[in-house]
Chains A and B, each alone.
Chain A
Amino acid sequence: MTDAVLALWRREILVFVRDRARVVGVLAQPLLFWVVFGFGFAESVTIPGSDAGYLQYLLPGMVALTVLFTAIYSTLSVVEDRQSGVLQAVLVSPQPRAAVVLGVVSGGSTLAVGQAALIGVLAPFVGLAPGLAGAAVALLACALLAVTFCALGFVMAWRLKTTRAYHAIMNVLLIPVWLLSGAFFPETGASAAVAAVMRLNPATYGVGLLRYGLHGLPDAIPGSRLGLGVCLMVSVGVAAVSVALAARVAQRPEA
């Protein structure tokens, strides 16, 4: 099974890097957002209880956006494979369906972390100094977010028959999840209701962990009251539950 997972992983990577529009697209969007919002709100937004500028505050959010988009859209391959018949060929192979889940999740997560790292290298230019340990935590945060959203994307993709339906659903879900994760605006300045929703959003903890990493593991991060330990534990838990859910969904027969 390890061999099969590796083969499926390799294929996800090959298909991605051979599609240049996709590589550029998932990088260009966060950069564009970052430049427009970061400079646009530069003088309008201050982070409560912090002297971080908005450009700096937004950078971890953009890394998170890159992870979310790359991870979720990598699972589009499940819908495409079902349409092309490639998925059916995998399902009639002797491999357990968990191998399919692991192949898709590991492949998509690798891509998501790789793309996110390309945005993350901008950190020193906005005054962030993560250091080695911080960078490692940031990568871990990206990996956990990526695994979570690849697995959740798989759950959605497994039932959908067309890529159009997939795009429609993902646009409705993904943007609010990102907006309400502390990536775009801080929890400490939000109304009580919005702050409560943010606490319920599983992505909030991954984004928090990412902030801890990129800020070089401080005692507290700008705009949030979440501790490092809570962020780490919830992120790991959510990733594990998501993968288990995907493995369970994959056991269902095809419609």
Chain B
Amino acid sequence: MPSPAALAADGLGFDYGDQTALGTVTFAVGPSERVGLLGRNGSGKTTLLRIASTRLHPARGRLQIAGLDVVADPAGVRRQLGVVFQSPALDPALTCREALQMQAALVAIPRAQRAEAIDRALADAGLADRAGARIGTLSGGLARRLDLARGLLHRPALALLDEPTTGLDPVARQDFWAFLDRRRGDGAQLIATHLMDEAERCDRVVILDSGRVVADGAPADLAAALGRDALWLDAPDADALAGALRAQGDDAQAVGDRVLVRADDARQRVAALYDRHDVRGVSIQPPTLADVFAAAVGVAPGAPPNESAITANGAPSATGR
């Protein structure tokens, strides 16, 4: 029998009052897959992770973790999970080893195996020489790595990570990901992030927008599907330009104050665009995951989460709610 998906969401939905946080979300994470969950603030990522960690009950549809239903068997689900939150869930008064000893008891690692599991986690986290240090004395990067060691201590079938590198400098982020890579063999990883370079390191990305899945695939496949090149146009009136280009049959979309045109013949068209339209600047890039995100969500990744940015380019925020 093939092992069940690490996570399977089927028509999953949740509302906060009359506000829809998740519409009907359907996607799966394979048994040893690393999936990036992308979306802006308020896209439903955190709600999805809360349901997956059994802290919220879904209003619609169902969610299974390693074949177990989150509503019917929350305790069983929690045994399969390792959860890493946006900020480290660590008591500053404890030492690194003490924090992991407590976690080992919480996740019920057999006593005989605890010391070994803790030593291995400390080594993988690069914290072997800091085992006796108080957590309060660790740098932000080390504390995050210790928190990851805590979440992955029992080699969970599914690791849920909610924007785990928020606030870390690039070097600390590299170290964090190196640790995450070392634990690829333990089980599946579902990582919520808004950083494109992190998403590129995933086998697949699922992009959420306003509680819906708007893209799902391998980063390279999604990028390739956009067309060979992404043509970015700076224009005084991005909406008008996008409208004009669409009128002549182009696949054009306003993204913030720029226009994204997906075209196979981008290079040949630059002169004509300058001649015929009010274009101030052009850049041509092979499509990236950032372009995928921009096309799917209607805003560049990292754009400030204000509602007008969404409505300004013709994708009202109420869509799909």
**Per-residue interface assignment for chain B, residues 85 to 117, with 1 indicating a CB less than 8 Å from any chain A CB and 0 otherwise:** 101111101100010011111111001000000
**Per-residue interface assignment for chain A, residues 53 to 97, with 1 indicating a CB less than 8 Å from any chain B CB and 0 otherwise:** 000000000000000000000000000010011101111111110
Is A15 in contact with B94, judged by CB distance below 8 angstroms? yes
From 69 to 128 in chain A, residues with beta carbon under 8 angstroms from any chain B beta carbon are 81, 84-86, 88-96
Most buried by B among A15, A92, A93, A254: A92
Is A92 in contact with B81, judged by CB distance below 8 angstroms? yes
Among B85, B94, B101, B107, point to the contact of A94 (Cβ < 8 A).
Answer: B107
**Per-residue interface assignment for chain A, residues 1 to 21, with 1 indicating a CB less than 8 Å from any chain B CB and 0 otherwise:** 001101110110011001100
Is B106 in contact with A4, judged by CB distance below 8 angstroms? yes
Among B75, B79, B108, B150, point to the contact of A89 (Cβ < 8 A).
Answer: B150
From 51 to 82 in chain B, residues with beta carbon under 8 angstroms from any chain A beta carbon are 53-57, 75, 78-79, 81
Nearest CB in chain B to that of A83: its residue: B87
Number of interface residues of A (CB under 8 A): 26
**Per-residue interface assignment for chain A, residues 166 to 199, with 1 indicating a CB less than 8 Å from any chain B CB and 0 otherwise:** 0000000000000000000000000000000000
A253 to B51 Cα, complex, angstroms: 12
Is A7 in contact with B102, judged by CB distance below 8 angstroms? yes
Is B85 in contact with A88, judged by CB distance below 8 angstroms? yes
Is B108 in contact with A94, judged by CB distance below 8 angstroms? yes
Is B102 in contact with A8, judged by CB distance below 8 angstroms? yes
Is A11 in contact with B91, judged by CB distance below 8 angstroms? yes
Is A93 in contact with B78, judged by CB distance below 8 angstroms? yes
Most buried by A among B89, B101, B150: B89
Is B78 in contact with A84, judged by CB distance below 8 angstroms? no
Among A3, A6, A18, A19, point to the contact of B108 (Cβ < 8 A).
Answer: A3
Is B79 in contact with A253, judged by CB distance below 8 angstroms? no
B70 to chain A, nearest CB (A): 11
Is A90 in contact with B75, judged by CB distance below 8 angstroms? no
A3 to B104 Cα, complex, angstroms: 9
Is A92 in contact with B102, judged by CB distance below 8 angstroms? no
Is B93 in contact with A94, judged by CB distance below 8 angstroms? no
Is B83 in contact with A15, judged by CB distance below 8 angstroms? no
A94 and B105 contact, Cβ closer than 8 Å, known pairs A15-B93, A15-B94, A253-B55: no
Nearest CB in chain A to that of B53: its residue: A92
Is A86 in contact with B87, judged by CB distance below 8 angstroms? no
Chain A residues contacting B102 (CB-CB under 8 Å) are: 7-8, 10-11
B169 to chain A, nearest CB (A): 21
Is A95 in contact with B85, judged by CB distance below 8 angstroms? no
A86 to chain B, nearest CB (A): 5
From 95 to 148 in chain B, residues with beta carbon under 8 angstroms from any chain A beta carbon are 98, 101-108, 111
Is A84 in contact with B89, judged by CB distance below 8 angstroms? yes
B151 to chain A, nearest CB (A): 8
A95 to B105 Cα, complex, angstroms: 9
Chain B residues contacting A84 (CB-CB under 8 Å) are: 87, 89-91
Chain B residues contacting A3 (CB-CB under 8 Å) are: 105, 108, 111
Is B105 in contact with A6, judged by CB distance below 8 angstroms? yes
Chain A residues contacting B88 (CB-CB under 8 Å) are: 85
Is B108 in contact with A4, judged by CB distance below 8 angstroms? yes
Chain B residues contacting A91 (CB-CB under 8 Å) are: 55
Is B83 in contact with A89, judged by CB distance below 8 angstroms? yes
A7 and B101 contact, Cβ closer than 8 Å, known pairs A92-B78, A254-B55: yes
Among B56, B93, B106, point to the contact of A95 (Cβ < 8 A).
Answer: B106
Is A11 in contact with B94, judged by CB distance below 8 angstroms? yes
Is B78 in contact with A94, judged by CB distance below 8 angstroms? yes
B86 to chain A, nearest CB (A): 8
Chain B residues contacting A10 (CB-CB under 8 Å) are: 102
Chain A residues contacting B111 (CB-CB under 8 Å) are: 3
A181 to chain B, nearest CB (A): 32
Chain B residues contacting A8 (CB-CB under 8 Å) are: 102
B225 to chain A, nearest CB (A): 36
A118 to B231 Cα, complex, angstroms: 76
Chain A residues contacting B54 (CB-CB under 8 Å) are: 92
Is A86 in contact with B105, judged by CB distance below 8 angstroms? no
A217 to B274 Cα, complex, angstroms: 100
B150 to chain A, nearest CB (A): 7
Chain B residues contacting A19 (CB-CB under 8 Å) are: 93
Is B85 in contact with A89, judged by CB distance below 8 angstroms? yes
Is A85 in contact with B87, judged by CB distance below 8 angstroms? yes
A4 and B93 contact, Cβ closer than 8 Å, known pairs A92-B54, A92-B81, A94-B79: no
Is B107 in contact with A88, judged by CB distance below 8 angstroms? no
A7 to B91 Cα, complex, angstroms: 13
A7 to B103 Cα, complex, angstroms: 8
Knowing that A3-B105, A85-B87, A94-B75 are A-B contacts, what are 14 other residue pairs whose CB atoms are under 8 Å apart, sorted by A's residue number? A7-B102, A11-B102, A85-B85, A85-B88, A86-B90, A89-B85, A90-B106, A91-B55, A93-B107, A94-B79, A95-B106, A96-B75, A253-B55, A253-B57
What would be 24 A-B contacts, judged by CB atoms less than 8 Å apart? Answer: A4-B108, A7-B101, A7-B105, A10-B102, A18-B93, A81-B91, A84-B90, A85-B85, A85-B87, A86-B89, A86-B90, A86-B91, A88-B83, A88-B89, A89-B85, A89-B151, A90-B106, A93-B106, A93-B107, A94-B106, A94-B108, A95-B108, A96-B75, A253-B55
